[in-house]
Structure 1
């Protein structure tokens, strides 16, 4: 397992303790421990394989009612199946439509309207991502062609630019069950290829709006897919 994966597992749900600091003392450790055990049982590395054969799970993640009782600040669940790593992240910044999320060891993810656009301290980090066309198609509820651009640092610290041709397709209506709530969503699939790579991103966008509750997004050949679920809005 990679160092980053070990750090995530070791700090599993540690950020919940910070976010729920207003909860009564004595109750919090038990709740954090319980939630950590729940997350540890999530098996997102197996499950249904998508038709492109990329592996991973296409099924929504579900946490039971009361798993985050007393926590009111925004919480994001992240799972990296290839590293067997699970963590929760707290939101530490908002700049326009970009939200920055962090674990307690300062591993951060940046999401632009739910689309992963940068990572830090994860290893083989994404410096920036341009997937604006993909997001526009998802917002409009339509399919179509899109191009996404990934920028990352090479071994000599030079910026590597990778361009991928993608096709976005609307999928069926699906209901996410999490924390005792039912969230009606519509599934969107983004299939991309280029630079010798093929990958599939999946997004669950709320049916009556534009919010992405859950996604499975490719972060590069070394990291693989990151499954993200917004637990608390």
Structure 2
């Protein structure tokens, strides 16, 4: 049964292969385009900024014009190839920009995967685990943070992130986090409109500090976020394409 399910998942995700971006290489000419259109909405502008940042990291010192993938076209291509929920994600340090389709759900926990089985696991929109990226986040205790973030409330919470050490032993990284509210912002992306409030979560543990930023609707949907995976991989920006 497990093998049959694995085959079904791979077949369901196979359509995403045409639109996935790995290490900044665009697969499919429909995705190439410049991100300088001044009519772009706020949501698209943020996504374009993610793509431009990736291009600068991958091509330092290059002066020749390089086509920037249009996130709207990327999202549209993904939606035409995959019928389920979709996110667009960019992992900053590794230079990975890709679309991921949902293939598993358990209550508020959703698992999104690329065709080559790199996964992001979100609970209530907060990142709780990754797989297949190297230096993965094994798990994260996020319930207390999610309760405030999804309600757009400020407060202080404890977090625990877990990673494997050099001997393959899972080690906890406990953090103390302060959640604060930022400005309101309207986001439009891939045919969806979101009225959101910015929620910042600043966490510290010894010499380690980081900030997660979420754009959250009144209903508690995290429409856009920039979340920390860990010390090695840094942040991932996650744009909701199809809920």
**How far did 1:97 drift?**
1.0
Backbone CA RMSD of aligned residues:
2.9
Superposed structure 1 runs of 4+ greater than 4 Å apart: 36-41
Q: Per-residue CA shift, 1:93-134, capped at 9, x if unaligned?
A: 001111011111111111001000011111111111002111
1:64 to 54, 72, 82: 72
Tell me the secondary structure at the aligned position of residue 105 of structure 1: coil
Q: Per-residue CA shift, 1:13-65, capped at 9, x if unaligned?
A: xx8762599xxxxxxxxx95423667898224599xxxxxxxxxxxxxx8437
Partner of 1:212: 222
Please tell me whether the aligned partners of residues 31 and 73 of structure 2 are also in contact (alpha carbons under 8 angstroms).
Answer: no
**How far did 1:179 drift?**
1.8
Tell me the secondary structure at the aligned position of residue 64 of structure 1: helix
Matched, 1:18 2:29: no
Please tell me whether the aligned partners of residues 66 and 180 of structure 1 are also in contact (alpha carbons under 8 angstroms).
Answer: no
Tell me the secondary structure at the aligned position of residue 110 of structure 2: strand
Partner of 2:237: 227
Matched, 1:150 2:150: no
Q: Per-residue CA shift, 1:141-185, capped at 9, x if unaligned?
A: 210101110111111111111001110001111011212443211
Tell me the secondary structure at the aligned position of residue 125 of structure 1: coil
For the residues of structure 2 that align with 1:46 and 1:173, how far apart are their CA atoms?
29
Please tell me whether the aligned partners of residues 150 and 161 of structure 1 are also in contact (alpha carbons under 8 angstroms).
Answer: yes
Aligned residues: 195
Please tell me whether the aligned partners of residues 16 and 32 of structure 1 are also in contact (alpha carbons under 8 angstroms).
Answer: no
Partner of 1:35: 31
Unpaired stretches in structure 1, ≥5 consecutive residues: 1-14, 22-30, 48-61
Unpaired stretches in structure 2, ≥5 consecutive residues: 1-11, 19-26, 35-46, 57-69
Distance 1:86 1:141, change over 3 A: same
Distance 1:115 1:36, change over 3 A: farther
Tell me the secondary structure at the aligned position of residue 142 of structure 1: coil
Is the helix fraction higher in 1 or 2? 2
Moved more, 68-77 or 214-223: 68-77
Matched, 1:82 2:93: yes
For the residues of structure 2 that align with 1:140 and 1:88, how far apart are their CA atoms?
27
For the residues of structure 2 that align with 1:129 and 1:150, how far apart are their CA atoms?
5
